[in-house]
Structure 1
């Protein structure tokens, strides 16, 4: 589970893992353009599963709930390059070049980008900068971010309406959203934000619908799902706790035993 190497220069991140790894909080606040250098990345956004192999490009949309599973190749290391495109950078770009978004449907959280010589030459050009540390070469890094946006628009023009959509999430059906996304390991403030509510309004609306606090409901819902997966589907507790949104195995085991009177490893 260890990350043996990780270089970060502004919004350009190099990841290198020698063991299987899963992300912590499963919320993507910014758009991310990524290239898979080595190993396999599997992604789940509640509605779809994706698998990215060496040489694949992907685009993860901001304000998405996604689970990542990083698998190194046999006797090798998982390696990836990610370029984080924050709202400030994109707003400046839109003003400079006169871009604005047209209305569009949200669609998938993760977009599989077709390989293109322009995309490949861009990620190759980033390799020499791996050893640099911020704040050195910040002007150069700003140019590389701008180049990334220009190349994405050239190779995938449909991304314009995603990149330059600066609207915040609107108020949506809270019950449906929570039933679909309870298994993501994110803070309550993320759920409130993604359903278009302040924290106070989120809690008030939630208790009107579910007649229980969000924190208690999440634990109960996750435990019920975990119990079903272990007993009916034969899954291992070590896999189920992550799948259902618990942060670590010990917390899951403690909560499970408290709820069901028996350790999760003993119910099958």
Structure 2
């Protein structure tokens, strides 16, 4: 999984807490993540479907996907979640030790909402001390907690073996359909190339042959078209739209919009 390795090493067990302000953003998910929503609500959107994950819910977020997120505070409290991520080396060693062989499955939901289980609840409670401690790579106690999570997931939902131990890389897929679904994610061209099963050079060549434009120019144009629709038909404000369609900052969005449509976005 070459591009996933570009991501800096992160804690295997991660506690998130936000006070006073809800948070929005987007990210590439390079590894499977098992999470529990301690407090507040997490909204996820994968380009097609929205997932609403309230307080007390468990989920498995599948690797190699782009998601937009909104972390909403509960009334009078802080947003809190606890997550365990599974790196490929751990999963491969586990599958060899226990003899797990996945059965190929058609693409499914990006987020798997898991049933509430006393086993999950007890496990999450046992993690409380870990997220406050330094997490050195190779820490044997940490490795045991990650393996424990795998055992619990597979005992509770055996079919998860087909997700957790599928080590295939993204195959070459329909470029037009993928870009139309994911153009609003502000990620690098190399990331788009990887997720469509192509090298960067092949991605650019296929793209220009298909769209008669370079990927960068097409992305700007398509994002501005979507922004125009959101402003005119949905009545949204430019401050709501620019991040939603994939621009990094408002000034760049306003400049590009005026260049294409001859009007500032605030005039639409």
Does structure 1 conserve the Cα–Cα contact (< 8 Å) formed by 2:184 and 2:223?
yes
1:128-139 to 2 correspondences below 5 Å: 128-135=129-136, 138-139=139-140
Q: Structure 1 residue 82: deviation in Å?
A: 1.2
Taking the TM superposition and a 5 Å limit, the aligned residue runs for 1:95-174 are 95-135=96-136, 138-174=139-175
Cα offset for 1:14? 0.7
SS in 2 for 1:82: strand
Give yes or no for the alignment of 1:229 onto 2:193: no
What is the rounded CA distance, in whole Å, between the counterparts of 1:208 and 1:199 in structure 2?
14
Alpha-carbon deviation of 1:151? Answer: 0.4
Secondary structure, aligned partner of 1:103: coil
Structure 1 residue 47 displacement after superposition: 2.0
For the 8 Å contact 1:10–1:138, the answer to whether it is kept is: no
Q: Does 1:41 align with 2:42?
A: yes
CA contact (8 A) 2:38 2:80 kept: yes
| Cα distance in structure 2, aligned partners of 1:131 and 1:192 | 37
CA distance in 2, matches of 1:173, 1:223: 23
- Alignment of structure 1 residues 143-222 onto 2, 5 Å: 143-222=144-223
TM-superposed deviation, 1:136 = 8.4
Instruction: Give the alignment's TM-score, normalised by structure 1.
Output: 0.92
Unmatched tracts of structure 1, length 5 or more:
1-7
Q: What's 2:86 paired with?
A: 85
TM-score by length of 2: 0.92
Q: CA RMSD in A?
A: 1.6
User: SS at 1:23's partner residue?
Assistant: strand
Residue number in structure 1 paired with 2:239: 238
User: 1:97 Cα shift?
Assistant: 1.2
1:22 aligned to 24, 49, 53, which one? 24
1:137 to 1:176, Cα distance in 2 relative to 1, 3 A: closer
Contact 1:229/1:235 (CA < 8 Å) preserved in 2?
yes
Aligned residues: 259
Please list every run of 5 or more consecutive structure 2 residues that lacks an aligned counterpart in the other structure.
Answer: 1-8
Q: Which residue of 2 aligns with 1:72?
A: 73
Q: Which residue of 2 aligns with 1:5?
A: none
Go from structure 1 to structure 2 and tell me whether the alpha carbon gap of 1:9 and 1:61 turns closer, same or farther (over 3 Å shift).
closer
After superposition, the Cα gap between the structure-2 partners of 1:84 and 1:75, relative to the gap in structure 1 and judged at 3 Å, is same
In 2, the alpha carbon distance for the partners of 1:136 and 1:196 equals 30
Comparing 173-182 and 132-141, the one that deviates more: 132-141
Moved more, 155-164 or 246-255: 246-255
